[in-house]
Structure 1
């Protein structure tokens, strides 16, 4: 049902144009919204009128009209005034509010449809039947983009996204949990992932500048039919989780660029423990590394194992960097200046982060 705020806004706009005071009451005679500060009406009259078969009734200088929702009364409108046009203004207001009810119900139905679609709660035949009823194209390239801000959902994120991505353009916004918002983005070219990457980056920047929120965005692959949207949603969700574990420095993660992180994410946890024991024995070597060592390793990998460039960027002497690497070799048995050892250490570090993530989230 539409909110009292929306009803108030609607009747206030009409009152400003027509100078006719309007009041909307529920079927029990309680005021929902009014353009008059002192509107009074016997609630028994409202209840009696709501239960009567007539659509309108005049009481003094007040015209009572029913606002219908699928042939059933939803609200009662009171248009006040002595002019002949008051009744006409009331009928116009009734039509406007009834159209709003239909629009909001369709929006709710559409939102409910996409929620069930994401969660695989619909049969194939239901998907196409409901899509047709809701005027949603069943065959059209789309991708699911998940926006997570680290806070419980409020209207801010949805409103910001809705101001740019509209249903008129074939885009839809919904949510299936309290932590994230889902944007179902329509695209023209099913292979244009550069466009999706640009959209994701734009969302991150918009959340940061407009709402002061640090957002993480992830998206799945582009699918051609409505029935495959749940697949894109699952991919986007995996990309979001994998991004948190292995690529924490990135605010945007795409399912088709997850690389080795996706492989590790799908490994059984016992296999991960066996791998680490095989490399380091029973000692928890990686947990003993300090922040300076980890940042040195990260920069060394970033510079493709180039000692000179890494020492320059870290503002340390080359010998200091070599000393740190050799110290790491003594504790781990791996010389990360060698490609094979560097690869082993990189994977081990990612596996360790994955195990920590599982422990923290009690999977």
Structure 2
């Protein structure tokens, strides 16, 4: 059975004012009677609520007080009066009597009709589903008002716990705490909170969809999770203890209405977060493109975003491979590609947290940029980064493959632009080899790779001008001279080491070196001449490989 207090969730009752008898708001209401006759007491019974304009006793305070006593004796619910219609104010004697008897007297504004109010109350009392709907709408209105007034998530969850008379938690899509009702601050509930979080983190995807489960510390009660949609690909979660035995008229509908408002608040906070993300990415672009020159400013602003100056840093770039039918289809839908971008950002953020990495995430153009930091970047850390990147790639890519480029370590925050360029080059190298879905570590280009980027006529001219007649050795003696100078230079011009590797006498090495220096008009002890000959020998190996490829095409 409902009390007068319960009626205040109805539209007609929200504007009413309790004038006296506040302690009696817990009186039960079973039916409603509308009357303005002086003998109305003859038609009232236990738990009846009287609606009246007060016309029958507006000039007779004693008669009004007598009605109050008689209704109290019958255990009636109370009186709702349109005070301003005829009475204009309740006599003080009547107020004192009502307060003494804990008998409620309630004022109904003149813009409300007794008939409409009666209909609302009777529908509420007699229709179970309508009552739950009224209550759900009441909850929705309360929470919407709180959101408009700027209440934070903790206040909303606390209010939900108050409405449901149940402990409540709000978790993000990773199963981490966002807010909780005051119940979990009690020592008796701290273990329950820990067990809930541990259970959910074992299979977050399962609990995000909404389910009911048990935990050891609450043997007699169940725990229920509800998905709360946000701008992220995966929903957050509302967790309520003992939901299946909610006190009437609370219902899942009421929880859903509250969840909608909490969802809107989360989306608003995410919009603020996205704005902060934009500022962060703008700073990173300025850093990479060297628009910030002052080292002090770089140190200050990188520290603000969690980058520490006394760490070694590497740059890990991630990008969606721009090949395949799925990607081309995606490009037609700007909204879809925006959703994919946000989804990958969120997933990479999750990977950094789950991998317990000291890292900061940025975006720049088509790249997602992770700056990972270590006390010292050794072989152990390289293995950690490799496993982290493999796991991230496995979890991030779905219909669209993603590739990663990883830089060498840099010792200073100011060198991050160099690390970024190395990681970008590692990705470009992968694409140059027609690869997709790859993980490439940057390696410093060797002389051979650099020479391969030059026009063939230029390197061929350098080769021939440097080695002269030895450029294309035809006789056995010329071939031996070329082999000797190659090993001699590799042995750092040590004659004994060269002789040992060629299985010849030291004097033979000296003779061949002297003869070669005469032919090439150079001295191998001169660093410039030595470098020139080394480069020429490398060009020779490139040209030889190319000739073999042409002779025996793959």
User: Comparing both chains, which one has the higher relative contact order based on Cα–Cα distances under 8 Å and sequence gaps of 6 or more?
Assistant: 1
TM-score, normalised on structure 2?
Answer: 0.31
The TM-score, its normalising length taken from structure 1, stands at 0.45
